[in-house]
Amino acid sequence: EAQVTQNPRYLITVTGKKLTVTCSQNMNHEYMSWYRQDPGLGLRQIYYSMNVEVTDKGDVPEGYKVSRKEKRNFPLILESPSPNQTSLYFCASSPGTANSPLHFGNGTRLTVT
Amino acid sequence: AQTVTQSQPEMSVQEAETVTLSCTYDTSENNYYLFWYKQPPSRQMILVIRQEAYKQQNATENRFSVNFQKAAKSFSLKISDSQLGDTAMYFCAFMNLNYGQNFVFGPGTRLSVLP
């Protein structure tokens, strides 16, 4: 089944404790990205990647890191999480061509205390 | 910068009736793509419908259709014969390939379908 797999679904952590949210897609998509969803703000892009070893900042990259060592994986890393990073996170992928929609993972609800 | 506005934070509709969700966007680009995504309580993001800006004909997918007014930069979603399963958050999104395929999302409209 074609899908974007994101883990974990829920994560509670404390300020400053490094964490990684994994994302993997099995559709051979070129393009992958991370979004955070906050009430009243919709989804905002954190980072994106057009291909292996190519990553770029989105609209809200501060406090996040990503890597794209393989085509299928695009982990999101929070080196020192803070409470303002409490949010719902989505990984998404697409073929990267015109009119291609984003395929989303099931989301990760992160709480930083 | 591109921006997407959804002016109705919440809406409700009776089952079997028709409802229209509004979306406006701001861009200086001529070629772009517009999407509506649905997010039910399961929080999955599900594509509802898409529209290419160069196509004048409005897109339709079963009970879902759009009213695309390019000059007015408006992209509303009409849901006909509303069903209980249509209860969800609806996001309008804009995409232009010149911006790294960044999808810009609106703040969303929470739709409740009432029995």
Is B41 within 8 Å of chain A by CB? Answer: no
Check B107 against A40: CB less than 8 A apart.
Answer: yes
In contact, A91 and A33? CB cutoff 8 Å: yes
Distance from CA of B115 to the nearest CA of A (A): 26
* Lookup: tokens for B100: 């790294």
Query: What counts of helices (H) and strands (E) characterise chain A?
Result: 0, 11
Check A44 against B102: CB less than 8 A apart.
Answer: no
Q: What does the pLDDT look like over A65-105, one tens digit per residue?
A: 999 999 999 999 999 999 999 999 999 999 887 778 899 99
How many Cβ atoms from other residues are within 10 Å of residue B16's Cβ?
11
Q: What does the pLDDT look like over B4-39, one tens digit per residue?
A: 999 999 999 999 999 999 999 998 888 899 999 999
Please name the residues in contact with B71: beta carbons below 8 A apart, sequence gap of 6 or more.
none
Largest interatomic CA distance in chain A? 41
Is A92 within 8 Å of chain B by CB? Answer: yes
Q: Measured between beta carbons, which residues in chain A are less than 8 angstroms from residue B43?
A: 88, 106-107
* Lookup: tokens for A19: 């964490």
Q: What does the pLDDT look like over B69-109, one tens digit per residue?
A: 999 999 999 999 999 999 999 999 998 877 666 789 999 99
